[in-house]
Amino acid sequence: MTQTTTTSARRRAPHRADHVGSLLRPAIVQKARADGITGEELARIEDMAVRDVVALQRDAGIKVLTDGEVRRAFWHYDFMGMLDGLEMKASTRSLPFKTEHKTTPIESHLTGPLDFSADHPMLGHFTFLRDLASHGEIPKISIPGPSAVHFRTEPENIEYAPYKDPERLFDDIARTYKKAVQAFYDAGCRYLQLDDIFFAYLGDPKQREARRAMGQDPDELVRKYAWMLEEAIKDRPDDLVIGMHMCRGNFRSAHVAEGGYDFAADAIFNQTSVDVYFMEYDTERAGGLEPLRLLPKGDKRIMAGFITTKTGELESPDTLKAQFDAASKYVDLDQLGIAPQCGFASTEHGNAITEDDEKRKLELVVATAEAIWGES
């Protein structure tokens, strides 16, 4: 087993209570988009909405602030489509969520050399949020992890010939993300989250078989995805905390994949220098807690996702306490924190919950952290 550890004790989760990032889109944004508003007027409305979701987080007691991803349609496609060499194009296929609703039929196409440009729009999204943070709050931005570019690009959509060589593609994805990590740091980001959900997808037997049908080895993909992630973050400054979120899909409260973390745990914990792991654990779909035993002792922290964002029903404090008691059999309680299992709106549609449900869930995150660790 190859173990990679962080080089500075400063790299650790800033708080016990956190959240994945996306929040229900405020009504003003939903109406503006429904009315076909675009350009500067839409940006002005989105600015207002970001202020609203920041206020919601403050009212709930959350000290890690995000912009709720209110400017995005998807958690990943917007960022990806803003990269040089990648285009989102109309498709006849939607993502295979277990719901009657269909995602917008678009797909990733690799059309040229990948790169992260100095004017990538999400740098501006972050700086707007950064300027709203005060009183010791931590502004955090979540972007799709490197695996998203590979996993979400069908082989027939690789139009740039050099990327038919998977090793060339992996190298360029890692290089592009390395530039992104530094660019966000230069913009003032000290807490960057990479949503690398496909490590969890690759624990699903059906997803693994689908990869084999493409001529890809799912176990080798786990290793290559860990390599890309580590290449992107290994040279980061000592005061940049890297978070990583894993789940099994989130669209209108529906999921795609099922299966535990057994196939990925060693790679994510010991082959990357990630500091904070947001791990979905709200249902049996996520498997058992046993893989947590592979987390190395030290400053790394798991934000256990025992609180669901897929329904409005509020979890019992006693049940949450029992779940942390169970988790502490595999990992030191001091290396645990709490966050919801996923975002509340991984796409602009949002999950089947209300804004009041969302706020109560965030308040429960804070209350649980204070009850277990005496701090949030």
Residue 18: inside a domain, yes or no?
no
Tell me which of 10 and 239 has the higher pLDDT.
239
Residue type, 4: T
Give the span between the Cα atoms of 349 and 330, in whole angstroms.
37
Residue 129: inside a domain, yes or no?
yes
pLDDT of 91: 83
pTM of the model: 0.94
Q: Give the residue carrying structure tokens 């004790």.
A: 9
Residue 143: inside a domain, yes or no?
yes
In tens, the pLDDT along 134-187 reads 878 999 999 999 999 999 999 999 999 999 999 999 999 999 999 999 999 999
Q: Which residues span the domain enclosing 157?
A: 68-373
Tokens encoding 100: 């009657």
pLDDT exceeds cutoff 90 at 1: no
pLDDT band, residue 29 (cuts 50/70/90): very high
pLDDT band, residue 249 (cuts 50/70/90): confident
CATH number at residue 320: 3.20.20.210
In tens, the pLDDT along 265-298 reads 999 999 999 999 999 999 998 999 999 999 999 9
pLDDT of 98: 64
pLDDT of 9: 44
Distance of CA 179 to the CA centre of its chain: 19
Residue type, 360: R
pLDDT exceeds cutoff 70 at 329: yes
Helix (H, G, I), strand (E, B) or coil at 32: helix
For the chain, percent of residues with pLDDT exceeding 90: 87
Residue 193: inside a domain, yes or no?
yes
Q: How many CB atoms lie within 10 A of CB 160?
A: 17
For the chain, percent of residues with pLDDT exceeding 70: 95
In tens, the pLDDT along 340-375 reads 999 999 999 989 999 999 999 999 999 999 999 999
Residue 29: inside a domain, yes or no?
no
In tens, the pLDDT along 41-50 reads 999 999 999 9
pLDDT of 327: 98
Helix (H, G, I), strand (E, B) or coil at 67: coil
Residue 134: inside a domain, yes or no?
yes
Give the span between the Cα atoms of 177 and 233, in whole angstroms.
8
pLDDT exceeds cutoff 60 at 214: yes
Domains in the chain, number = 1
In tens, the pLDDT along 90-120 reads 888 766 666 767 767 789 999 999 999 999 9
Residue 50: inside a domain, yes or no?
no
- CB of 57 closer than 8 Å to CB of 140: no
Q: How many CB atoms lie within 10 A of CB 121?
A: 11
To the nearest whole number, what is the mean pLDDT of the chain?
Answer: 93
List of residues 6+ apart from 294 with CB closer than 8 A = 265, 266, 269, 270
Residue 48: inside a domain, yes or no?
no
Pairing of strands 84-90, 106-115: antiparallel
Residue type, 76: H
In tens, the pLDDT along 3-14 reads 444 444 468 899
- Cα-based torsion angle of the residue sequence 18, 22, 23, 26 in order, rounded to the nearest 10 degrees: 140
Largest Cα separation within the chain, whole Å, is 56
The H-or-E segment that residue 339 falls in is strand 336-340
Tokens encoding 366: 């804070």
Q: Give the residue carrying structure tokens 């924190």.
A: 337
Give the span between the Cα atoms of 355 and 344, in whole angstroms.
10
- CB of 227 closer than 8 Å to CB of 143: no
